[in-house]
Amino acid sequence: MKAAVLIDGENVVMCLKDTLGRKVQLDRDIDWKGFFEYLASLGYEVIIARIYANPFIFLKNPHIANNLERMGIKVVLADSTMKENGPKSTTDTTMTAEGIRMLYERPVDTVVIVSGDRDFLPLAETARELGRTVLFAAFLDSTANILKNRYQVINLLNFSALNVTFDNNIYSNVEEISVQG
């Protein structure tokens, strides 16, 4: 099955930063190659891979965006402004709108949403209504319960720098929540 992988870069950074207790490098702290290989082992051919983020994530380390692009992950920078309490961006809206557009314009059977954020429920519900398979990949401790209850969730922590098998057998401890529907 042909799959589109849509990554909420801000959600991944926020959750992984809490877990690692340090600054996150999106190109190194997640084993994207291993994640895509895992999806392939489940029968999903990734034909689209995009990461959505505000430009402030890459401001001090532009090489991270270049490395992600070299891995085949297109970087999509959302409109953002810096506020007193941090950056505000249209990342979730941009990712949802592009995801829905892809459902109509691209030959995808499956949408893999890399986020535990319930803001992507409209995208997931639309994909399901159109007969597409929907998977989430997220850090289980920070995944909205509604997503865990309605969709299969792949534990992204197994593909993180914390995983002791990071460079070895990535499939040995992959944990999932499977939901019928």
Give the rounded distance of the alpha carbon of 33 from its chain centre. 13
> Taking the C-alpha atoms of 75, 76, 80 and 82 in order, what is their torsion angle to the nearest 10 degrees?
-10
Which pTM does this prediction carry?
0.86
Percent of residues, the chain, with pLDDT higher than 70: 87
Higher pLDDT pick, 168 / 111? 111
Specify the CATH architecture of the domain 2-172: 3-Layer(aba) Sandwich (3.40)
Cα 40 to Cα 29, 36, 65, 89, 177: the distances in Å are 21, 6, 24, 32, 18
Mean per-residue pLDDT over the chain, rounded: 86
